[in-house]
Amino acid sequence: MDLPVIERPSSRLSLGDSAVMRQMQKDVTDIKKAVTTILNTLIVQEEVVVESVEDFIPEKIKNQEMMNQLNEQLESDEEFRKKLIMVLAKLKDGGDLPSITRLLMRSMLTNGIMSKYSLTSQRGKTPFKGTRTCKVILRALKRATKNRFPVKDYEFEIAEVLRNAPNCPGGVNFLKTQEDFSSGDDDDSQSVFAVNEEN
């Protein structure tokens, strides 16, 4: 008894099948291009909308009430927190870690409010480390510097900005120095005037 002959399926595609495959490959390529274009457009739009720290913090933090409000918002609003980190990280314009740290911190905090803080409550000041604002600044610094430094280096530079704040414009010691200087000028002018009177 002869067994039926079973033909093996051809491994070659017909002309019609080849055309379909080529069209599918073209469609996939077109879709990839479209997705890439959309993503690039969204990135550009995001960069255009988010231009500066003022978009998020219209006025620099200058007192404890404003600081508390900022910490609360950073704690409760994740979207706000993420965007602020992104904006702060983009502020850097070259420079070393100390200059970048000063730029980031002074873009959102006045020397007056920073005068009241130290990193870990030295000299009885309010501890900055552990606040949501400090965590945001730390993350922005890491992003701006591509996380090239150990955490202790970032914290050291933050501590330095806080330590020097009282002696910078708007800081408590800076204001006292200016007042002392002004009062000294007045005394000198009065003594000169008195000498002229006597002569």
Question: pLDDT for 53-63, tens place per residue?
Answer: 998 999 999 99
pLDDT of residue 186: 44
Alpha carbon 146 to its chain centroid, in Å, reads 13
Of residues 186 and 142, which shows the higher confidence score?
A: 142
What number is the average pLDDT over the span 49-76?
A: 91
Per-residue pLDDT at 30 exceeds 70? yes
Q: Which long-range contacts (CB under 8 A, 24 or more apart) does 49-53 make?
A: 50/83, 50/86, 50/87, 51/87, 52/87, 53/84, 53/87, 53/88, 53/91, 53/107, 53/108
pLDDT of residue 96: 92
β strands within the chain, DSSP E? 117-118, 126-127
pLDDT of residue 37: 78
Of 6-20, 65-79, 114-128, the range with the lowest mean pLDDT is: 6-20
Of 28-37, 51-60, 142-151, the range with the lowest mean pLDDT is: 28-37
Residue range 84-93, pLDDT digits in tens: 999 999 987 6
| Beta bridge mates, 126 | 117
- pTM given for the model: 0.64
SS3 content of the chain, % helix, strand, coil (to 5): 70, 5, 30
